[in-house]
Amino acid sequence: MDQPHRDASPHLRTGPEVRLPRGRLDRRTFTYSVVIPVYNSEDLVGTTVEKVIEVLAGEALSYEVILVNDGSRDGSWDVIADLAQRLPHVVALNLLRNYGQHHANLAALRESKGDYVITMDDDGQNPPGEVLKLIDEAMTGRDVVFGRFERKQAPGYRRLGTKAIGSMNRRIFGQPRDLTVSNFRILRRDVVARICASRTAHPYITGQALIYSSNRSNVDVLHQQRASGKSHYSALRILQLVFTILFSYSSYPLRLAAFVGFAISATSFVLGGVYLLMGAFGQTRVEGWTTTVVLLALFNGFTIALLSMLGEYVVRTLNAVSAHESYHVVDRVSG
């Protein structure tokens, strides 16, 4: 990493020597790692990286750009490998297969050395110039700053998915109601270190950033239309993320199943008492076969659903305790 102002250090200094008026830190005394997961973006990622470098170099900031190819099926790896060979501040990692955005981010976080780490998308929808807004807000002492899009350029199903995930973030990770989260964010080194030390088979960087930080804020940023192509975050991927959050970081599904189970059990006891009284007073009928079948189907169906849910927790627990890495890097290129 280029260090024109001080020696490189993987650790954030707890007592910065240079402060600006009104308690602001001087952004030139820190180093920055820009993390960009790459997936099928050979036509866009090169322009995005060039603009990021132009912005940071133009402000005389010490930086590195870490690009992670997350199993792209196009020529994205060739593009970012070429950038890493030509540019001294660029590092390219190639993952074994497509693990998902959060796994790619985790790989880059562990590779990063900056005092602050900025995560952004590869498609140019996060304008590189907006990175400076994140940095300036972090200089007020924040350990995490999320970009809040003034107008998000995304299809309706993605906005709906964002609302659903936001609701889960508030319940599971304690996200304040006045805080908006996004993948365009800046993390201080101590928060990054906690995320990297967390051993989980299913990383979720946004949630981990929330639980491993205490001084968070938003800054309004622009969100642009994609220059070409379409978003790779389909409705299925959003649904997969929802289930990952629910089963990897929360016991709500199990508690819900337990609540429904108790409700059904209570109902069955009431029905049993009613039929017992009817039998005691001789008001029984042979035609109760339908009721028996319906009740058996209902109770057995719930039992199978509950066992399936317990099985999902068991599988994820086994993955968490047995998997050494949630991703594998097969190639690394740097200038």
Torsion region of 229: left, alpha or beta (phi above 0 gives left; psi -120 to 50 gives alpha): left
pLDDT tens column, 297-332: 667 667 777 777 777 777 667 666 655 677 899 999
CB distance 124 to 227 below 8 Å:
yes
d(CA 117, CA 105): 11
- In this predicted structure, the answer to whether residue 20 has a pLDDT above a threshold of 60 is no
What is the rounded CA–CA span in Å between residue 106 and residue 326? 9
Query: pTM above the 0.85 mark?
Result: no
pLDDT at residue number 159: 64
d(CA 37, CA 209): 17
227 vs 39, higher pLDDT: 39
Alpha-carbon distance of 171 to 252, in angstroms, equals 9
pLDDT at 192 over 90: yes
62 and 40 Cβ atoms separated by less than 8 Å: no
Q: Write out the two tokens for 2.
A: 């280029």
β-strand pairing of 116-119 with 31-38? parallel
User: 144: how many CB neighbours lie within 10 A of its CB?
Assistant: 23
327 and 106 Cβ atoms separated by less than 8 Å: yes
- Please give the Cα distance from 144 to 131 (Å, whole number): 13
Predicted confidence at residue 238, as pLDDT, reads: 72
At 44 the pLDDT is 92
Give yes or no for a contact between 300 and 58, defined as CB atoms under 8 angstroms apart: no
Mean confidence (pLDDT) of the chain: 81
Instruction: Give the pLDDT confidence score for residue 288 in this predicted structure.
Output: 63
Rounded Cα–Cα distance for residues 61 and 251 (Å): 43
19 DSSP β-pair partners? 25
Lowest mean pLDDT among 48-52, 63-67, 256-260: 256-260
CA-nearest of 209, 118, 224 to 169 is 209
The per-residue pLDDT for 4 is 40
